[in-house]
Amino acid sequence: MRVLGIETSCDETGIALYDSDQGLLGHKLHSQVDLHAVYGGVVPELASRDHVRKTLPLIASLLAETGLSKSDIDGVAYTAGPGLVGALLVGAAIGRTLAWAWQVPAVGVHHMEGHLLAPMLEADSPEFPFVALLVSGGHTQLVEVKGIGQYRLLGESLDDAAGEAFDKTAKMMGLPYPGGPELAALALKGDPKRFHFPRPMTDRPGLDFSFSGLKTFALNTTQREIAENDSAETVLQTKADIARAFEEAVVDTLVIKCRRAVRECGAGTLVLAGGVSANRHLREKMQSAMKKEGARVYYPRTEFCTDNGAMIAYAGWQRLRAGATEPMGFSAKARWPMDSLSGI
């Protein structure tokens, strides 16, 4: 079965083709970073319009590169939520229309299920059951996974997601958009011993997260430590030291909660997925921590950590082969609890 995957949940247009026998045949990704940079964040209406312009040309380009035609496609998968409703509706409308025109089944995919299953695209992939940390700009969740669609939410952020906290802290520090990767890059130049930030909600039981206070702590530290008469070099180093302390606090918090989750579930496998899972420091610390727990860590290659069509094509294939299909209509969900999905 060959499945076309379409991802348009936010500010990246992702297209991919997945073959059940050959694996991933190819993928295309268009980023809207330059479009939104001037505004310092994603503008939903502009994102939707750009998806309208880019989705069909990317599909045509991918089909040409792979030497396939519409008659070679056996199913279409598109992101149906959660995400920006306008952006989601673009992919849903195009996906459902193509499926109708090509007379193949279509299925709406949960965006975070796509991220969760992204490591399955690798040759060395995890087996069920496992614990997953889904950590991105919009979500920070710990989930017990017994199979596809068999999810139990263990904990989540009560306010800002980890990636959102990275972006907002970077913006407060005057770093360019997109802030998260800029802050992580700056942290590499920071002194890890100069500042120590709190590890929120790690001094109490439970698996929930909170990063809003950490963001405020970073703002207060920045305002206190940077003076008007400081040289540009001094300011840059101070910002690097603050970035390092902030990153260390977020990473340590995620690691502590993951160790708890693995212990509570008796799991031998942890899956790390979502945009923040590309963070090098997080991967290194998580790898070391899970080794102490006797557990193994899996994560997708860097290009599949952020939003992409490959994860949607793969998740859609899993749903389609289990018999899931969408009716003639289509819909999009800005919010969609993952534990409401049906198992297969």
* pLDDT of 326: 87
Task: Identify whether 123 is part of a domain.
Answer: no
Q: How many CA atoms lie within 13 A of 123 on its CB side?
A: 0
Residue 138 assigned ligand-binding role: yes
The number of distinct structural domains making up the chain is: 2
Instruction: List, for residues 17-49, the tens digit of each pLDDT value.
Output: 999 999 999 999 999 999 999 999 999 999 999
Residue 180 assigned ligand-binding role: yes
The strand order across the sheet containing 140-147 reads 150-156, 140-147, 130-135, 269-273, 296-298
Interatomic CA distance for residues 8 and 50, integer angstroms: 10
Residue 329, pLDDT > 90, answer no
Residue 131 assigned ligand-binding role: no
Interatomic CA distance for residues 248 and 226, integer angstroms: 20
Instruction: With cut-offs at 50, 70 and 90, classify the pLDDT of residue 327.
Output: confident
- Percent of the chain scored above 90 by pLDDT? 96
264 and 180 both lie in a single domain:
yes
Residue 142 assigned ligand-binding role: no
Residue 5 assigned ligand-binding role: no
Q: What is the dihedral of CA 226, 227, 232, 233, to 10 degrees?
A: -60
Residue 196 assigned ligand-binding role: no
Q: What is the dihedral of CA 55, 57, 60, 63, to 10 degrees?
A: -60
Instruction: List, for residues 209-224, the tens digit of each pLDDT value.
Output: 999 999 999 999 999 9
Could you tell me the CATH number of the domain that includes residue 208? Answer: 3.30.420.40
Interatomic CA distance for residues 263 and 217, integer angstroms: 30
* pLDDT of 54: 98
Instruction: List, for residues 54-65, the tens digit of each pLDDT value.
Output: 999 999 999 999
Residue 329 assigned ligand-binding role: no
158 and 290 both lie in a single domain:
yes
Q: What DSSP line would sit under 279-299, residue for residue? A: -HHHHHHHHHHHHHTT-EEE-
Average pLDDT of the chain, as a whole number: 96
90 and 148 both lie in a single domain:
no
Instruction: List, for residues 268-304, the tens digit of each pLDDT value.
Output: 999 999 999 999 999 999 999 999 999 999 999 999 9
169 and 263 both lie in a single domain:
yes
Quote the pTM value: 0.95
Number of helices (H) and strands (E) in the chain: give both, helices first: 10, 10
215 and 111 both lie in a single domain:
no
Residue 210 assigned ligand-binding role: no
Alpha carbon distances (Å) from 256 to 39, 131, 263: 35, 14, 11
Residue 136 assigned ligand-binding role: yes
Residue 81 assigned ligand-binding role: no
Bridge partners for 140 per DSSP? 135
Residue 111 assigned ligand-binding role: yes
Enclosing domain of residue 322: 2-118+304-340
Instruction: List, for residues 113-142, the tens digit of each pLDDT value.
Output: 999 999 999 999 999 999 999 999 889 999
* pLDDT of 328: 86
* pLDDT of 281: 95
